[in-house]
Amino acid sequence: MANANVEVTAAVTLVVSATNDHISFARLTATALAGKLGFDYDAIEDVRIAVSELCSNVIACAITGSELTLSFRGDSEGLTVTGRVPVAESASPLDPDELSEQVLDAVVDRHGYSADGVEIQFTMFRGHRPSES
């Protein structure tokens, strides 16, 4: 978790239909904020890939016709993205495949999922790395 004393330089909340067709809005928002935070091209691509993977994984469990709510928060430490969708109590549990997990492990510093029977949520963090400005 980011240090509470770090000044937030960017914060956006985005609500879209929980369909794969709308993941592009999430990617666009994430890449714009990563650019604003000074991430280099490769880091911006890492963020774009991670947001796509995480959104598609939770959308697979979403109630048909529901909304995906995304929160983006950027500061001097990096970019945190959270997303959540409502799920039916009878929904099968989120079970990302091994390839998806490997991709996420390669492109972000931290990521995870949580579920409470009503919603599934993801969180990811991509920090500035020494080679970046």
Tens of pLDDT, residue by residue over 37-84, are: 999 999 999 999 999 999 999 998 899 999 999 999 999 899 999 999
Residue 23 belongs to a domain: yes
Q: What's the number of domains the chain is made of?
A: 1
In a domain, 118, yes or no: yes
Give this prediction's pTM.
0.88
Does pLDDT of 4 surpass 60? Answer: no
Q: What are the tens digits of pLDDT across the range 110-119?
A: 999 998 889 9
CA distance 106 to 43: 11
Domain range for residue 70? 9-84+103-127
Bridge partners (DSSP) of residue 96 are: none
Predicted pLDDT at 2 = 44
The yes-or-no verdict on residue 1 having pLDDT over 70 is: no
**132 occurs within a structural domain:** no
